[in-house]
Amino acid sequence: MKSTINYIAEIFRAIWSLLTGMKVTAKYFFTPWNNVTQQYPENRDTLVMFDRFRGEVIMPHNENNEHKCTGCGICEINCPNGSIEIISKSIVNEEGKKKRIIDQHIYHLAMCTFCNLCVKTCPSEAIVMGQKFEHAYWNRTSMTKVLNQPGSKIMEGIKE
Ligand code: SF4
Ligand code: SF4
């Protein structure tokens, strides 16, 4: 008789344990609006990555095709694995003075570890981390990008 009671008690304990384990699953099953799982790639058009996500280094330009990069090369020096190359050129400004400006800010996405050091150390906040994460390419050269857009120039008021 005692062993039968123990047996039945064991069954109830097992059912209780199972229900406890299923509690979290059931919560998300009946309240799907709380789910954190994204249905990618179906949600590609509406997907918004979280703020701290580091997808790639980008250089924002304003509506006048102006950026904040002075070509100082500090990001290149601070990049631990040589993912950035700064090519600058010399020009003569309106006052007849020679100065160096950015020619090409080259970024090797394939080598980047997304450590954020370049962004943190840029004195003019010219580069940021973008949220694009789909980086599948057919050839490696597509992963080398020039961050300053063609025909762009530095914004007025940026300390050079
Ligand atoms: S995020 Fe890091 S690895 Fe990538 S370019 Fe910037 S400094 Fe280099
Ligand atoms: S992105 Fe910033 S640190 Fe890099 S060259 Fe331009 S101004 Fe200098």
Query: Given a cut of 90, is residue 97 above it in pLDDT?
Result: no
Q: Which two tokens stand for residue 106?
A: 């080259």
d(CA 55, CA 58): 9
Range of the domain at 27: 2-34
Same domain for 60 and 27: no
Same domain for 68 and 113: yes
Residues of the chain with pLDDT > 70: what percent?
99
Q: Which atom number of ligand 1 is nearest to the Cα of residue 119?
A: 6
Dump pLDDT digits (tens) for 127-145.
999 999 999 999 999 999 9
Residue 145 lies in a domain: yes
Instruction: pLDDT band for 87, please (50, 70, 90 cuts).
Output: very high
Same domain for 64 and 136: yes
Same domain for 140 and 100: yes
pLDDT at 75: 98
Q: Which atom number of ligand 2 is nearest to the Cα of residue 127?
A: 1
pLDDT at 157: 85
User: Looking at ligand 1, which residue's alpha carbon is closest to its atom 6?
Assistant: 118
Provide the domain count of the chain: 2
Mean pLDDT (whole number) for 64-79? 97
User: Closest Cα to residue 70, out of 121, 112, 105?
Assistant: 105
Dump pLDDT digits (tens) for 5-52.
899 999 999 999 999 989 988 888 888 787 777 889 999 988 888 889
d(CA 134, CA 136): 6
Give yes or no for a cis peptide into 32 (omega within 30° of 0).
no
User: Closest Cα to residue 127, out of 78, 91, 88, 80?
Assistant: 78
Q: For residues 129 and 55, is the Cβ–Cβ distance under 8 A?
A: yes
Q: How many CB atoms lie within 10 A of CB 122?
A: 20
Q: How many CB atoms lie within 10 A of CB 140?
A: 11
Ligand 2 pocket, mutate which of 87, 125, 127, 152 (most atoms under 8 A from CB): 127
